[in-house]
Chain A
Amino acid sequence: MLYRESGQFKTSYRADQAIFPIRQDRIAIMALLAVVFILVPIVADEYWLGSILTPLLVLSLAAIGLNILTGYAGQLSLGTAGFMAVGAFAAYNLNLRVPELPLIVDFLLAGVFAALVGMVFGLPSLRIKGFYLAVATLAAQFFIEWVFTHVGWFTNYSSSGVISAPPMVIMGVTVDSAVEKYLLTLVMVAVLALAAKNMVRSRIGRSWMAVRDKDVSAEVIGIPLLATKLSAFGISSFYCGVAGALWTYCYLGTVEPAAFDLSRSFQVLFMIIIGGVGSILGSFLGAGFIVLLPILLNNIAAMIGHGTLQADTMANLEHIIFGGLIIFFLIVEPHGLARLWQIAKEKLRLWPFPY
């Protein structure tokens, strides 16, 4: 019943090209946006807003970035956290050295800097593919981390190499409470996610997918490889850069380059694997899984009471359960959570008589 589409006819190109062509999806998205923009800030407490939902949104944005590059354009990357670091340090330095710029412009310019760096490290993608490219982006990860650790200018010569986000002021309003930071993050992520969703259905997204599926064939039908691959690297890094800036400003407040180490890159990579490679929705689902699960497992020990389960056992169990669940998901549904949602939707179209 939920997904019965009978009676929904498309009578114009406009309707046919809508992002969400099915009415139920449009309603669901509107409801979801209403919930996250209005209900959540009212209902959720500071802990949920500040230390669960905000990092969840930021990491979703990074996952979208990586998904554009790996999921849509087929270029493997292990440098996600490096590009996030570029965004974080660019936003900090812009804020510090060009205080006239509005904060949102700082964030977007931080994304642009990350895009430029990403494109430079994307150049080898013209010659190498797959695992070899992953190693090249790994170099980006290490190199960027090294630069921010060792070039004092980037951290304003802080003695410990830590940057600390200055107070955020947007059009005269100081953003400092958990709700305000959550809303700022949400606006950025919602706009950028919508843009990404649109991008992957447009000409540029189609050329990414053509290159992903077979680059030689793509070239034969007239898709310029250089421009396509570099645009994927650039736009992907832009998303990661903005995510890095938001991570610094809206979540941690102060970061050292080690906050963007290789394990963060892997974390984002797991997000798109679990969530679904080549899916914008999957980026959110994967981020939700990776961020919430350890916190949930951590909370269980407290929930069932002290003494029942020793804290040290729990700490190690957490790793075991987490690894086990990832393996389970990859075996049961290698296309990720997004694919599960798609199956659910298809079954709902035929409900109550699925076959």
Chain B
Amino acid sequence: MKKSVFASLALGVGLIAGASVPAPAVAQAMEQFMPIPIYRTGPYAAGGTGYFGGFMDYMALINERDGGVNGVKLTWEECETAYDNARGVECYERLKGKGPTGAAMFHPLSTGITYSTFEKGAADKIPVVSLGYGRGDAMVGSVFPYLFPLVTTYWSQNTSKIKFIGMKEGGMDKLKGKKIVNVYHDSAYGKETIDILNKQAATYGFEIKHFPVAHPGLDQKAIWLQIKQIAPDWVILRGWGVMNPTAIKEAARIGFSREKMLGVWWSGSEEDMRPAGTAAKGFIAAGFNPPGKDFQVIKDIEKAVHAKKKGNIESDRVGTVYYNRGVVTGILSLEAIRIAQEKFGKKPLTGEQIQWGLEHLNLTPARIKALGAEGLVQPIKTSCTDHEGGGAVKFSQWDGNQWKIVSDWIEADKGLVRPLAEESAMKYAKEKGITPRDCSKEM
């Protein structure tokens, strides 16, 4: 028996040594490498697989249909993070040097991993793209040159949410005296919006109460009892993963109307609603991408990728919220590469060159139409000062079977968000001893 232990130990050591040997460098001159720090296990697996599945399918589409971005094929490799920060850092380090020019950019899909990698990204000159998450103040590109919270941040989205509530109540002045409860995931992700909500409460005169829910969010009974006592006019749900259906079921149990519940975009997927069953009917969620298959780009993916059995996700999940979000991520990422190629040449680019592309994104309505993504993506224009670009969200309501869009694009209140972001970014710069870039010289 003992012998077998030693044998297995020796085998283990051998395997570890084997794992360290780098893969043989084959000729891969015209390839652009994309790291995929996915999570296929744990309470957030639905988000991880759906999002990165869509992202990989879009890259597969570009490879199959167009032969890559201007002839540069896309390659990618998965790394399982299990949504754990430490493993996310390991994945970042493992994948950053792969491919002929290193990682094009890094999509952490976790606020925690974003925080743990963006400084490494800045040091390695690899852009970290936190599309719709990450720190809100990162929109200040002069302080965060390699961090891109593209499309919209939690801060922007929150002002859109309050606008939406104002619309439903019949005007922003009607918010005065209303009671709003913020049920948030007790992590960096969940806490992001507390400050901005407090600020908005002071501006519009509503009352805000914050309720943290511990990871992973299965135990919420006590919180909802308190919410019942408060009897709020609206509940904002900043959930993620299994926390969402639990919150919806608890709300149904205390009899709080789901039509007065407003989720963040990570609370608005099919995977969040189905487990809650009939209780979910009427729930409203923000989103920067609508679900559905009625977009040319999704149809192309079905034809060029899934019909040929080359999909990176189960075919029945194509067109879901997370999936389409992954496609949006793919569109923006590859657009950044395409724009950078115009400046640096049609070849695999380094992270530093792609950073330029991300900073000069210009997704006009015409370009969106050409990409076959009309209505799927909002127009986006980034710059050295503005790493966010868009800033609008649409709201959808769950009708028991699927999401129905119930609003047009609602713009964020940039007048409120921008000064707060700048204040926070400058505080960060001071703490870190960073001199902000002079963006006026880079126009």
> Which residues of A come within 8 Å of B, CB atoms?
46-48, 50-52, 55, 96, 149-150, 156, 159-162, 164, 166-167, 176, 251-256, 258-259, 261, 292-296, 298-303, 306, 311-312, 314-316, 318-319, 329, 332-333, 340, 343-344
Contacts and interface: CB of A to CB of B under 8 A. Distances in A.
Nearest to B186: A149
A302 B115 contact: no
Nearest to A178: B93
Given A252-B89, A258-B112, A259-B86, A292 B77 contact: no
Interface string B305-339: 00000000000000000000000000000000000
The interface centre, meaning the residue of A48, A156, A176, A254 with most chain B CB atoms within 10 A of its CB, is A254
A303 B94 CA distance: 13
Interface string B182-216: 00001111011011000000000000000010010
A159 B90 contact: no
A160 B135 contact: yes
A166 B87 contact: no
- Prevailing SS type, chain B contact patch: helix
Nearest to B434: A167
B406 interface: no
Nearest to B4: A332
Interface string B1-29: 11011100100100110111001000000
Contact of B40 (A46, A55, A316, A333): A316
16 contacts: A50-B93, A52-B90, A161-B188, A162-B115, A164-B119, A166-B433, A252-B89, A258-B85, A300-B19, A303-B23, A311-B40, A315-B80, A315-B82, A316-B41, A332-B1, A344-B6
A312 B116 contact: no
B86 A302 contact: no
A208 to B, nearest CB: 29
Interface residues of B, number: 57
A319 B41 contact: yes
A51 B88 CA distance: 10
B215 A258 contact: yes
B432 interface: yes
B404 interface: no
B76 to A, nearest CB: 10
B188 A164 contact: no
Given A159-B191, A164-B431, A252-B86, A300 B15 contact: yes
A253 B115 CA distance: 8
Given A159-B192, A296-B19, A253 B187 contact: no
B87 A294 contact: yes
A329 B12 CA distance: 13
A47 B18 contact: no
Contacts of A47: 93-94, 97
A254 B119 contact: yes
Contacts of B97: 46-47
Contact of A149 (B12, B41, B92, B212): B212
A307 B384 CA distance: 41
Given A159-B424, A254-B116, A259-B86, A167 B433 contact: yes
A233 B119 CA distance: 35
A252 B116 contact: yes
Contacts of B137: 159
Interface in B18-47: 18-20, 23, 38-41
A298 B15 CA distance: 12
B357 to A, nearest CB: 25
Nearest to A318: B80
Given A166-B432, A251-B86, A256-B115, A296 B12 contact: yes
Contact of B94 (A51, A160, A253, A333): A51
The interface centre, meaning the residue of A48, A52, A160, A166 with most chain B CB atoms within 10 A of its CB, is A160
Contacts of B16: 292, 296
Nearest to A48: B20
B187 A258 contact: yes
Contacts of B1: 332
B111 interface: yes
B348 interface: no
Given A164-B119, A303-B18, A340 B5 contact: yes
Contacts of B15: 296, 300
A253 B19 contact: no
B369 interface: no
Q: Which 4 A/B pairs are nearest by Cβ-Cβ distance? A: A51-B93, A315-B40, A299-B19, A160-B188
Contacts of B189: 160
A106 B207 CA distance: 42
Contacts of B2: 332, 340, 343
Contact of B188 (A96, A256, A299, A329): A256
A87 B120 CA distance: 23
A149 B195 CA distance: 14
Contacts of A160: 111, 115, 135, 188-189, 191-192
Contacts of B93: 46-47, 50-51
